[in-house]
């Protein structure tokens, strides 16, 4: 069944995108030798926290990494009304990170596996090289 991503709200795209992106991060951490649960969680937050995701998407925009369609999806995700609230960050950062996740959800629904891998690897490189921090 083909789902029309344009009919989905940004929150639904972000719901899927969160899982897609986090799968890449978890695989990266395990392949990097982190196998203890406490270390996995600690290191994962550098990539998947709302602050890290917001910083990554802002860098993507500054470096024009995203396609025009991906920028539109990001904006739709960022502007979506959520019934949940951020637990460890401010509302603005939380909404920006929701837009980040929406991009990955859109790419998954449109079956763009190569683009997902490209963006995920770009994000991993930014964090690993210290260009993006999970702390603002």
pLDDT tens, residue by residue, 83-110: 666 677 888 999 999 999 999 999 999 9
Using CB atoms within 10 A of its CB, is residue 40 exposed (0-12), middle (13-18) or buried (19+)?
middle
Q: 43-52, 57-66, 77-86 — which one is most confidently predicted on average?
A: 57-66
Nearest to 8 by CA among 109, 112, 127: 109
Q: Which of 2-16, 94-108, 120-134 has the lowest mean pLDDT?
A: 2-16
The fraction of the chain above a pLDDT of 70, given in percent, is 90
pTM of the predicted model, to two decimals? 0.90
For the annotated catalytic residues, the residue numbers are 18
What was the pLDDT predicted at 136?
Answer: 47
């Amino acid at each position: 069944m083909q789902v029309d991503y344009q009919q989905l709200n940004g929150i639904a795209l972000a719901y899927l995108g969160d899982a897609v992106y986090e799968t890449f991060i978890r695989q990266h951490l395990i392949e990097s030798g982190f196998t203890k649960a406490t270390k996995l969680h600690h290191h994962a937050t550098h990539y998947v926290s709302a602050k890290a995701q917001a910083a990554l998407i802002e860098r993507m925009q500054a470096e024009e990494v995203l396609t025009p369609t991906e920028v539109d999806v990001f904006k739709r995700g960022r502007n979506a009304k959520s019934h949940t609230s951020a637990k460890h960050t401010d509302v603005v950062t939380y909404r920006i990170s929701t837009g980040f996740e929406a991009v990955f959800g859109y790419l998954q629904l449109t079956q763009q596996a190569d683009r997902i891998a490209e963006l995920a690897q770009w994000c991993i490189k930014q964090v690993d090289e210290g260009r993006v921090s999970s702390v603002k």
